[in-house]
Amino acid sequence: MNIFSQLFGTSTKVDLQQIINEGAFLVDVRTPGEFAAGHVKGSENIPLNNITTQLNKFKNKKNIIVFCQSGGRSSQAKTILEQNGFTNVINGGSWNNVNQFVK
């Protein structure tokens, strides 16, 4: 089992580069302080504890990539969004992982 399978609970390889190039909605679920210290260009900061109050921001997005410091909070965010009917959510893991694909 590779590290992605362990982190994301799937063996399906997601092409983050292609999805980002297609204009995915990039959501950093870390705290505002963490976001201010460094973040992915073009990403929006919606802290994990605010996801349920900000669901309208996720509507009509083709693909949503959530990420955080290590992948834990983004996994929770993905679950919350899926419980609210969003089927196009990808856990990008850490913000550094997602950042390598953003030009």
Residues annotated as part of the active site? 68
Tell me the C-alpha distance between 29 and 46, whole Å. 5
Max CA distance (Å), the chain: 36
Tell me the C-alpha distance between 19 and 2, whole Å. 21
